[in-house]
Amino acid sequence: MRRFALALLVIGVLSGCGLEAGGSVPLRVGPASIRPMAQLDGVRITVGSKDFTEQNILGYLIEFALTAAGAQVRDLTNITGSNSLRDAQLHGQVDVAYDYTGTGWINYLGNETPIPDSDGQFRAVHDADLAAHGMLWADMAPMNNTYALVTTAATGVTRLSDYARLVDSDPNAANTCLGTEFSVRQDGFPGMARKYGIDAGRARKQIMQDALVFTAVANGTCRFGSVAATDGRIQALHLKLLDDDLGFFPKYNAALVLRKSFADAHPQIAEIMAPISRLLTNETIIGLNRQVDVDGREPAEVARDWLVARGFVTAR
Protein backbone atom coordinates (compact mmCIF):
# COMPACT_ATOMS: atom_id res chain seq x y z
CA MET A 1 0.00 0.00 0.00
CA ARG A 2 1.32 3.42 -0.88
CA ARG A 3 2.72 5.31 2.10
CA PHE A 4 1.62 8.87 2.51
CA ALA A 5 4.43 11.35 2.92
CA LEU A 6 4.66 11.61 6.69
CA ALA A 7 6.01 15.06 6.85
CA LEU A 8 9.22 14.52 8.69
CA LEU A 9 10.80 11.28 7.57
CA VAL A 10 13.78 12.39 9.51
CA ILE A 11 14.59 14.48 6.52
CA GLY A 12 14.17 16.60 9.63
CA VAL A 13 17.04 18.84 8.79
CA LEU A 14 17.97 20.30 12.12
CA SER A 15 18.94 23.94 12.14
CA GLY A 16 19.94 24.58 15.73
CA CYS A 17 16.85 23.18 17.39
CA GLY A 18 14.63 24.02 14.43
CA LEU A 19 13.00 21.71 11.92
CA GLU A 20 13.21 22.85 8.34
CA ALA A 21 10.88 20.35 6.66
CA GLY A 22 7.18 19.91 6.12
CA GLY A 23 4.56 18.99 3.61
CA SER A 24 0.97 19.40 2.60
CA VAL A 25 -1.95 17.64 4.25
CA PRO A 26 -2.06 14.16 2.68
CA LEU A 27 -5.82 13.92 1.93
CA ARG A 28 -8.39 16.49 0.87
CA VAL A 29 -11.33 17.26 3.11
CA GLY A 30 -14.18 19.76 3.09
CA PRO A 31 -16.42 21.31 5.72
CA ALA A 32 -19.32 19.60 7.46
CA SER A 33 -20.12 20.47 11.07
CA ILE A 34 -16.75 22.23 11.07
CA ARG A 35 -17.46 25.29 8.94
CA PRO A 36 -14.99 27.67 7.30
CA MET A 37 -14.06 30.47 9.68
CA ALA A 38 -13.11 33.89 8.38
CA GLN A 39 -10.62 34.24 11.25
CA LEU A 40 -8.68 31.17 10.04
CA ASP A 41 -8.98 31.76 6.30
CA GLY A 42 -5.46 31.30 4.90
CA VAL A 43 -3.82 31.29 8.33
CA ARG A 44 -0.63 29.21 8.23
CA ILE A 45 -0.69 26.54 10.91
CA THR A 46 1.96 23.85 11.31
CA VAL A 47 0.75 20.64 12.97
CA GLY A 48 3.17 18.18 14.55
CA SER A 49 3.16 14.73 16.10
CA LYS A 50 5.60 12.15 17.38
CA ASP A 51 6.62 9.12 15.34
CA PHE A 52 4.18 6.39 16.28
CA THR A 53 0.75 5.33 15.09
CA GLU A 54 -1.43 6.99 17.71
CA GLN A 55 0.42 10.28 17.46
CA ASN A 56 0.19 10.32 13.68
CA ILE A 57 -3.56 9.70 13.89
CA LEU A 58 -3.96 12.51 16.43
CA GLY A 59 -1.89 14.85 14.27
CA TYR A 60 -4.03 14.15 11.23
CA LEU A 61 -7.21 14.77 13.22
CA ILE A 62 -5.94 18.29 13.89
CA GLU A 63 -4.84 18.80 10.29
CA PHE A 64 -8.13 17.76 8.70
CA ALA A 65 -10.23 19.71 11.21
CA LEU A 66 -8.28 22.93 10.68
CA THR A 67 -8.20 22.43 6.91
CA ALA A 68 -12.01 22.17 6.88
CA ALA A 69 -12.08 25.45 8.81
CA GLY A 70 -10.09 27.16 6.07
CA ALA A 71 -6.58 27.25 7.53
CA GLN A 72 -3.48 26.72 5.41
CA VAL A 73 -2.10 23.66 7.20
CA ARG A 74 1.45 22.36 7.01
CA ASP A 75 2.11 18.73 7.98
CA LEU A 76 4.99 18.02 10.37
CA THR A 77 3.75 14.73 11.76
CA ASN A 78 6.11 11.84 12.54
CA ILE A 79 8.78 13.79 14.41
CA THR A 80 11.21 11.42 16.08
CA GLY A 81 10.79 11.43 19.85
CA SER A 82 9.02 13.48 22.50
CA ASN A 83 11.90 15.89 23.07
CA SER A 84 12.16 16.74 19.38
CA LEU A 85 8.46 17.58 19.17
CA ARG A 86 8.73 19.65 22.34
CA ASP A 87 11.73 21.60 21.01
CA ALA A 88 9.90 22.21 17.74
CA GLN A 89 6.96 23.69 19.64
CA LEU A 90 9.11 25.81 21.94
CA HIS A 91 10.99 27.24 18.97
CA GLY A 92 7.92 27.88 16.82
CA GLN A 93 8.44 25.23 14.12
CA VAL A 94 5.24 23.47 15.27
CA ASP A 95 2.17 25.49 16.25
CA VAL A 96 -0.14 22.79 17.58
CA ALA A 97 0.05 19.11 18.54
CA TYR A 98 -1.51 16.59 20.87
CA ASP A 99 0.79 15.63 23.72
CA TYR A 100 0.38 13.68 26.96
CA THR A 101 -0.05 15.18 30.41
CA GLY A 102 2.30 12.72 32.12
CA THR A 103 5.01 13.41 29.55
CA GLY A 104 4.64 17.13 30.12
CA TRP A 105 4.72 16.85 33.89
CA ILE A 106 7.68 14.49 34.20
CA ASN A 107 9.76 14.74 31.04
CA TYR A 108 9.30 18.39 30.09
CA LEU A 109 8.87 19.96 33.53
CA GLY A 110 11.17 17.68 35.48
CA ASN A 111 8.82 16.50 38.20
CA GLU A 112 9.36 13.07 39.73
CA THR A 113 5.99 12.46 41.36
CA PRO A 114 2.89 12.21 39.13
CA ILE A 115 -0.51 13.54 40.16
CA PRO A 116 -2.74 10.49 40.76
CA ASP A 117 -5.90 11.61 38.92
CA SER A 118 -6.32 12.76 35.33
CA ASP A 119 -7.97 16.12 36.05
CA GLY A 120 -5.44 17.00 38.72
CA GLN A 121 -2.55 16.03 36.46
CA PHE A 122 -3.96 18.14 33.64
CA ARG A 123 -4.40 21.20 35.86
CA ALA A 124 -0.90 20.81 37.27
CA VAL A 125 0.84 20.58 33.90
CA HIS A 126 -1.38 23.34 32.48
CA ASP A 127 -0.46 25.79 35.22
CA ALA A 128 3.23 24.91 35.47
CA ASP A 129 3.99 24.84 31.73
CA LEU A 130 2.12 28.08 31.14
CA ALA A 131 4.06 29.82 33.90
CA ALA A 132 7.46 28.39 32.99
CA HIS A 133 7.38 28.28 29.18
CA GLY A 134 4.28 30.06 27.90
CA MET A 135 2.84 26.76 26.64
CA LEU A 136 -0.92 26.25 26.81
CA TRP A 137 -2.49 22.82 27.40
CA ALA A 138 -6.15 22.64 26.35
CA ASP A 139 -8.96 20.25 25.50
CA MET A 140 -7.89 17.19 27.48
CA ALA A 141 -9.25 13.96 26.01
CA PRO A 142 -10.57 11.04 28.11
CA MET A 143 -8.00 8.69 26.52
CA ASN A 144 -5.14 7.77 28.86
CA ASN A 145 -2.17 6.37 26.95
CA THR A 146 -0.20 5.32 30.00
CA TYR A 147 2.76 2.99 29.92
CA ALA A 148 2.27 -0.63 30.94
CA LEU A 149 3.96 -4.01 30.89
CA VAL A 150 2.30 -6.87 29.03
CA THR A 151 2.74 -10.61 29.10
CA THR A 152 0.89 -13.70 27.88
CA ALA A 153 -1.54 -15.75 29.91
CA ALA A 154 1.07 -18.53 30.06
CA THR A 155 3.28 -16.68 32.56
CA GLY A 156 0.54 -16.52 35.19
CA VAL A 157 1.83 -13.08 36.28
CA THR A 158 -0.90 -10.46 36.71
CA ARG A 159 0.67 -7.63 38.76
CA LEU A 160 3.84 -5.59 38.57
CA SER A 161 4.64 -6.60 42.16
CA ASP A 162 4.64 -10.24 41.02
CA TYR A 163 6.87 -9.31 38.08
CA ALA A 164 9.31 -7.60 40.46
CA ARG A 165 9.53 -10.73 42.62
CA LEU A 166 10.14 -12.85 39.52
CA VAL A 167 13.01 -10.59 38.44
CA ASP A 168 14.55 -11.08 41.88
CA SER A 169 14.08 -14.86 42.04
CA ASP A 170 14.59 -15.89 38.40
CA PRO A 171 15.75 -13.12 36.03
CA ASN A 172 15.70 -15.40 33.00
CA ALA A 173 12.00 -16.13 33.58
CA ALA A 174 11.37 -12.38 33.60
CA ASN A 175 13.13 -11.65 30.29
CA THR A 176 11.73 -8.25 29.24
CA CYS A 177 11.65 -6.37 25.94
CA LEU A 178 11.77 -2.61 26.45
CA GLY A 179 11.01 0.12 23.95
CA THR A 180 13.88 2.55 23.41
CA GLU A 181 12.31 5.54 25.20
CA PHE A 182 10.75 3.44 27.97
CA SER A 183 14.15 1.98 28.80
CA VAL A 184 15.58 5.38 29.81
CA ARG A 185 12.65 7.62 30.78
CA GLN A 186 12.08 8.33 34.46
CA ASP A 187 8.40 7.52 33.90
CA GLY A 188 9.54 4.28 32.27
CA PHE A 189 11.70 1.38 33.41
CA PRO A 190 14.18 3.26 35.66
CA GLY A 191 11.39 4.85 37.70
CA MET A 192 9.30 1.68 37.72
CA ALA A 193 12.29 -0.30 38.97
CA ARG A 194 12.78 2.11 41.89
CA LYS A 195 9.08 2.08 42.79
CA TYR A 196 8.84 -1.72 42.79
CA GLY A 197 12.28 -2.43 44.28
CA ILE A 198 13.61 -4.06 41.12
CA ASP A 199 17.39 -4.41 40.81
CA ALA A 200 17.72 -2.94 37.31
CA GLY A 201 21.15 -4.51 36.90
CA ARG A 202 19.75 -7.95 37.67
CA ALA A 203 16.83 -7.67 35.24
CA ARG A 204 17.33 -9.35 31.89
CA LYS A 205 16.38 -6.72 29.28
CA GLN A 206 16.35 -6.39 25.51
CA ILE A 207 16.05 -2.88 24.05
CA MET A 208 14.22 -2.56 20.75
CA GLN A 209 11.87 -0.37 18.75
CA ASP A 210 8.44 -0.07 20.35
CA ALA A 211 6.69 -1.71 17.39
CA LEU A 212 8.77 -4.88 17.79
CA VAL A 213 7.89 -5.43 21.46
CA PHE A 214 4.39 -6.74 20.75
CA THR A 215 5.40 -9.61 18.49
CA ALA A 216 8.45 -10.37 20.65
CA VAL A 217 6.18 -11.00 23.64
CA ALA A 218 3.53 -12.82 21.59
CA ASN A 219 6.06 -15.21 20.03
CA GLY A 220 7.97 -15.83 23.26
CA THR A 221 11.19 -13.96 22.47
CA CYS A 222 10.48 -12.05 25.67
CA ARG A 223 8.10 -13.01 28.44
CA PHE A 224 7.25 -9.38 29.24
CA GLY A 225 7.31 -6.14 27.30
CA SER A 226 6.68 -2.41 27.61
CA VAL A 227 3.73 -0.98 25.69
CA ALA A 228 1.39 1.97 25.50
CA ALA A 229 -1.93 0.93 27.05
CA THR A 230 -4.04 2.23 24.15
CA ASP A 231 -2.26 0.23 21.44
CA GLY A 232 -4.61 -1.92 19.36
CA ARG A 233 -2.09 -4.77 19.12
CA ILE A 234 -2.55 -5.68 22.79
CA GLN A 235 -6.01 -7.11 22.16
CA ALA A 236 -5.19 -8.41 18.68
CA LEU A 237 -2.27 -10.49 19.99
CA HIS A 238 -4.11 -11.58 23.16
CA LEU A 239 -1.59 -9.94 25.47
CA LYS A 240 -2.39 -9.16 29.10
CA LEU A 241 -1.70 -5.85 30.84
CA LEU A 242 -0.02 -6.22 34.22
CA ASP A 243 -1.82 -4.39 37.00
CA ASP A 244 0.17 -1.38 38.24
CA ASP A 245 -0.75 -2.29 41.82
CA LEU A 246 1.51 0.35 43.42
CA GLY A 247 0.21 3.09 41.13
CA PHE A 248 3.55 4.09 39.59
CA PHE A 249 2.65 5.04 36.03
CA PRO A 250 1.39 8.61 35.54
CA LYS A 251 -1.77 9.59 33.72
CA TYR A 252 -1.10 10.24 30.04
CA ASN A 253 -4.26 11.92 28.83
CA ALA A 254 -3.87 13.45 25.41
CA ALA A 255 -4.36 17.22 25.28
CA LEU A 256 -3.90 19.93 22.70
CA VAL A 257 -0.70 21.94 23.20
CA LEU A 258 0.00 25.37 21.70
CA ARG A 259 2.18 28.36 22.49
CA LYS A 260 -0.06 30.73 24.44
CA SER A 261 0.71 33.59 22.07
CA PHE A 262 -0.49 31.47 19.14
CA ALA A 263 -3.57 30.27 21.02
CA ASP A 264 -4.46 33.86 21.94
CA ALA A 265 -4.10 34.96 18.31
CA HIS A 266 -6.23 32.07 17.05
CA PRO A 267 -8.72 30.97 19.75
CA GLN A 268 -10.79 29.27 17.06
CA ILE A 269 -8.32 26.33 17.08
CA ALA A 270 -9.32 25.26 20.58
CA GLU A 271 -12.99 25.89 19.73
CA ILE A 272 -12.77 23.55 16.74
CA MET A 273 -10.81 20.81 18.51
CA ALA A 274 -12.75 20.67 21.81
CA PRO A 275 -15.64 18.49 20.56
CA ILE A 276 -13.17 16.17 18.81
CA SER A 277 -11.08 15.74 21.95
CA ARG A 278 -14.17 14.91 24.02
CA LEU A 279 -14.84 11.87 21.81
CA LEU A 280 -11.32 10.43 22.10
CA THR A 281 -11.91 7.72 24.70
CA ASN A 282 -9.61 4.74 25.25
CA GLU A 283 -12.04 2.54 23.35
CA THR A 284 -12.07 4.93 20.40
CA ILE A 285 -8.32 5.37 20.11
CA ILE A 286 -7.63 1.66 20.58
CA GLY A 287 -9.96 0.99 17.65
CA LEU A 288 -8.27 3.62 15.49
CA ASN A 289 -4.78 2.36 16.37
CA ARG A 290 -5.81 -1.20 15.57
CA GLN A 291 -6.96 -0.21 12.09
CA VAL A 292 -3.40 0.90 11.36
CA ASP A 293 -1.23 -1.56 13.25
CA VAL A 294 -3.34 -4.68 12.75
CA ASP A 295 -5.41 -4.04 9.63
CA GLY A 296 -2.68 -2.20 7.72
CA ARG A 297 -4.56 1.01 6.94
CA GLU A 298 -2.88 4.40 6.62
CA PRO A 299 -3.09 6.72 9.67
CA ALA A 300 -4.31 9.60 7.49
CA GLU A 301 -7.16 7.53 6.05
CA VAL A 302 -8.17 6.28 9.49
CA ALA A 303 -8.22 9.80 10.93
CA ARG A 304 -10.14 11.27 7.99
CA ASP A 305 -12.72 8.48 7.90
CA TRP A 306 -13.38 8.82 11.63
CA LEU A 307 -13.96 12.56 11.27
CA VAL A 308 -16.23 11.94 8.27
CA ALA A 309 -18.23 9.26 10.10
CA ARG A 310 -18.89 11.67 12.95
CA GLY A 311 -19.88 14.50 10.66
CA PHE A 312 -16.98 16.87 11.35
CA VAL A 313 -15.64 16.97 7.76
CA THR A 314 -16.41 15.58 4.31
CA ALA A 315 -14.05 13.59 2.09
CA ARG A 316 -13.14 15.07 -1.28
* Structural domain boundaries in the chain: 14-144+252-315, 147-241
- C-alpha angle 9/2/27, rounded to 5°? 80
CATH number of 147-241: 3.40.190.120
Please, what is the average pLDDT of the chain?
92
pLDDT computed for residue 187 by the predictor: 83
Burial 37-58 (b: 16+ CB within 10 A, else e): beebeebebbbbbbbbbbbbbb
Instruction: Say if CB 93 and CB 76 are below 8 A apart.
Output: yes
Report DSSP letters for 267-297, one per residue.
Answer: THHHHHHHHHHHT--HHHHHHHHHHHHTT--
pLDDT computed for residue 14 by the predictor: 37
Phi-psi region of 25 (alpha: psi -120 to 50; beta: other; left: phi over 0): beta
Helix count and strand count (H, E) for the chain: 12, 15
Q: What value does the mean pLDDT take over residues 230-246?
A: 95
Question: In this predicted model, what pLDDT tens digit does every residue of 166-205 receive, in sequence order?
Answer: 999 999 999 999 999 899 988 899 989 999 999 988 999 9
Neighbours of 33 (CB within 10 A): 13
Distances (CA, A) of 240 to 105, 234, 297: 27, 7, 24
**225 pLDDT tier (thresholds 50, 70, 90):** very high
> By three-state DSSP, how is residue 152 classified?
coil
**DSSP annotation of 216:** H
The answer on pLDDT for 222 being more than 90 is yes
pLDDT computed for residue 21 by the predictor: 56
* 147-241 matches 14-144+252-315 in CATH topology: yes
Class of domain 14-144+252-315 as given by CATH: alpha beta
Question: In this predicted model, what pLDDT tens digit does every residue of 39-91 receive, in sequence order?
Answer: 999 999 999 999 999 999 999 999 999 999 999 999 999 999 899 999 999 99
Question: In this predicted model, what pLDDT tens digit does every residue of 300-310 receive, in sequence order?
Answer: 999 999 999 99
What end-to-end distance do the CA atoms of the chain give, in Å?
20
Neighbours of 180 (CB within 10 A): 15
pLDDT computed for residue 11 by the predictor: 37
In the chain, beta strands by DSSP E: 14-15, 18-19, 23-24, 29-31, 44-50, 72-79, 96-100, 135-138, 147-151, 176-179, 205-208, 224-228, 240-241, 254-259, 313-315
The answer on pLDDT for 22 being more than 90 is no
This prediction has a pTM of 0.86
Contacts of 58-63 with CB under 8 Å at 24 or more apart are 58/97, 58/98, 58/254, 58/280, 58/303, 59/97, 59/98, 60/26, 60/299, 60/300, 60/302, 60/303, 60/304, 61/98, 61/276, 61/303, 61/306, 61/307, 62/96, 62/97, 62/98, 62/256, 62/273, 63/25
Q: What value does the mean pLDDT take over residues 272-283?
A: 97
Distances (CA, A) of 192 to 188, 246, 251: 6, 10, 14
**29 pLDDT tier (thresholds 50, 70, 90):** very high
pLDDT computed for residue 17 by the predictor: 41
Instruction: Say if CB 139 and CB 273 are below 8 A apart.
Output: yes
Amino acid, single-letter form, for residue 60: Y
